[in-house]
């Protein structure tokens, strides 16, 4: 994760594993000078690493984790079923799991949001919709929100499942920068629940028809392992939120 436009910047430093190949203008083969100019607040980083050990202990058994507070039915992920942190993870674990539940807190194309969970190299997270399920409709059916900004991307592959057992992965070409999550800028939610409002949040959108599913209750996001920055605690794909764009209530009703 690399952010700009904030008083304290928390970034991942290059040097862990291969960097991605050069894609379209400015991404993801960032100029080394940009990376060298990154400012790391050591105190914040140390605190985040310490928090990471606590968070890892709380989910070591792999059991479902939720935000701890009942919510009204909404269009966003409600529960974390699984989180396998990869090397370089740690940022956001002090607010886990709430940090990835509910609406996105994106900061647009000029700065990355701090309301994220860093997955680390090849880290994986699975989330569940417990009230509004994604269903195959016209156009995209769900969206995944990272924190990219101009000139810097960290990509993840998205998979979906109706039952948490049979998973269907969306094709993700991290070299070409196609089909992955983490490509499009994200905007903060303003409370709108219409399809147009949800589409306006940005993020990367996926159509269930592409993987042959009519409904999806579970979403998995996994860091591609080919991103440039994997230094702790902000390494790899940074998840902000997941949303249903075309959905129905679990009992079959209209949300």
pLDDT attached to residue 253: 85
pLDDT per residue rounded down to tens, the chain (255 residues): 554 443 333 333 333 333 333 333 333 433 433 333 333 333 334 434 334 433 343 343 334 555 555 557 899 999 999 999 999 999 999 999 999 999 999 988 888 899 999 999 999 999 999 999 999 999 999 999 999 988 889 999 999 999 999 999 999 999 998 999 999 999 999 999 999 999 999 999 999 999 999 999 999 999 999 999 999 999 999 999 999 999 999 988 888
Give a yes or no: residue 1 inside a domain. no
Give a yes or no: residue 219 inside a domain. yes
Give a yes or no: residue 19 inside a domain. no
Give a yes or no: residue 65 inside a domain. yes
Give a yes or no: residue 2 inside a domain. no
Q: What is the CATH number of the domain that holds 88?
A: 2.60.120.260
Range of the domain at 93: 32-249
Asked whether the CA dihedral 53, 58, 59, 64 is positive or negative, the reply is negative
| Tally of structural domains, the chain | 1
pLDDT attached to residue 112: 81
Give a yes or no: residue 17 inside a domain. no
pLDDT attached to residue 71: 56
pLDDT attached to residue 48: 41
Give a yes or no: residue 14 inside a domain. no
Give a yes or no: residue 216 inside a domain. yes
Token pair of 232 as six digits:
């702790």
């Amino acid at each position: 994760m690399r952010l700009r436009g904030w008083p304290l910047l928390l970034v991942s430093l290059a040097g862990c594993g291969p960097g991605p190949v050069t894609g379209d203008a400015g991404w993801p083969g960032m100029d080394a000078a940009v990376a060298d100019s990154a400012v790391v607040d050591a105190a914040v980083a140390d605190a985040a690493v310490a928090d990471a050990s606590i968070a890892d202990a709380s989910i070591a058994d792999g059991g479902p984790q939720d935000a701890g507070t009942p919510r009204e039915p909404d269009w966003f992920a409600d529960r974390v079923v699984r989180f396998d942190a990869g090397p370089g993870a740690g940022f956001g674990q002090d607010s886990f799991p709430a940090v990835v539940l509910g609406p996105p807190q994106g900061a647009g194309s000029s700065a990355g949001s701090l309301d994220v969970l860093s997955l680390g190299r090849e880290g994986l997270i699975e989330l569940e919709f417990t009230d509004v399920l994604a269903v195959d409709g016209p156009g995209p059916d769900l969206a995944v929100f990272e924190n990219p900004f101009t000139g810097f991307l960290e990509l993840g592959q998205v998979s979906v499942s109706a039952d948490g057992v049979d998973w269907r992965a969306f094709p993700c070409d991290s070299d070409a920068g196609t089909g992955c999550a983490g490509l499009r800028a994200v905007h903060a939610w303003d409370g709108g629940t219409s399809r147009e409002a949800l589409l306006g949040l940005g993020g990367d959108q996926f159509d269930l028809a592409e993987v042959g599913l009519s409904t999806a209750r579970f979403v998995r996001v996994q860091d591609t392992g080919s991103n440039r920055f994997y230094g702790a605690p902000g390494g790899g794909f940074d998840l902000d939120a997941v949303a249903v764009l075309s959905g129905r209530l679990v009992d079959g009703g209209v949300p």
